[in-house]
Amino acid sequence: MHNTLDKKIINFLDYLKYQKRYSQHTIVSYETDLVSFLSFLEKQFEETELKNIKPAFVRSWLAQLKSEDNSSKTINRKISSLKTFFKYHLRQGAIEVSPMTTVVSPKQNKRLPQYVEKKDTDTLFSHVEFTDDWTGKTESLILKLLYNTGMRQAELIGLKEQQIDFAKSSLKVLGKGSKERIIPISSELLVSLKQYINDKKKELQNPDQTHLLVRENGEKLYPKWVYNSVKKYLSLVTTIDKKSPHILRHTFATHLSNNGADLNAVKELLGHSSLAATQIYTHNTIEKLKDIYKKAHPKA
C-alpha cells in the first residue's frame, strides 16, 4: 500500500462484505469502480488524500468515461459506487463533506425489462421435450423453478432441500443481504420437487445432499451451467434478445402484474427492498393495455 486511499477502499469493501453482506459480485463491481477512480486521481491530479478530493476531480473522471463511450447506465453505476464510498467515510468522520453532493447523474433512457410471452411459456412447459437423463431432469426443474417463483439465479443455485416446506407448499429463499422470504408454490411444482429429490437418491452416487439442484456428477450447479441451460430452451420458444435466467424473473413478475396481482405482493415475492424497483413491471402491463386498446377500440 503506498497511499491512504488504498486503505480506505479496503476498509469500505470490508464494510460491504461483513456488515452489509453484499455478494462477491457486487463487491468486485465496487472495487473495480473505485480502483479505476483512484488510478485516474493519481495520474491526473497526483492526489491520494480522501479529504482533498474535489467535485471537479470527479466530474473530470466522468467526462473521461463519457469520452470513452461508456453508456449512461455504466456511468450512473460508477457514480453510485462513489456516492456510497464517500457516504461511508462521511459517517466514519474521515471527511466533512462529500465531493458527490454537486455531481449530477446523466439521464438514461428507461428500458422496459424483456420477458417471455405467455403463449411462449405455455409452449415451453407443455410441448418442449427434455431429455430423460439427469441433465434433462435438472434443466426442466430449473426452468419450472425460475418461472414459478421469480427467484434469482444465485438463489436458485443456493437453494437447499431443507428450504422446501412440503406441508405448507412454499419455499424459503435466501436473497440479497441474507434476507429471507417465503414464496408459495403450486401443487404441480411440489410434485416435481418431490420426484427430483427421490430420483436424486436413486440415480446418483453420493450426490450433494444439501443443495437441491445438482449436475450428473452429484455436485451443485454453477452460474454458467444454469445460464446455458436456460438459453438453450428459451431459444426454442422465443426470439427476444436476452434469454437468461433473469429474463424468467422478469417474466414471472410481468405475468403476475398482467393478471392483476397487487404490486406490493409482487414486491414481496421478488424480494425487492423498495416498491420503486417493482414498478417497472406495471409499465409492461400498461404497454400491453395500450396494445389491446389499439387493436380492439373502434376509436383507437
Q: Mind telling me the catalytic residues?
A: 152, 176, 246, 249, 272, 281
Beta pairing partners, 172: 182
Do residues 148 and 142 make contact, with C-beta atoms less than 8 angstroms apart?
no
Q: Calculate the alpha carbon distances from 143 to 64, 136, 139, 226 in Å.
A: 42, 11, 6, 9
The C-alpha cell of 144 is what?
419450472
The whole-angstrom separation of Cα 157 and Cα 148 is 15
- Helices 280-296 & 263-270 angle (0-180, nearest 10): 130
Do residues 106 and 76 make contact, with C-beta atoms less than 8 angstroms apart?
yes
Type of residue at 203: E
**Beta carbons within 10 angstroms of residue 265's beta carbon:** 12
Q: Residue 12's closest CA among 23, 1, 25, 27? A: 27
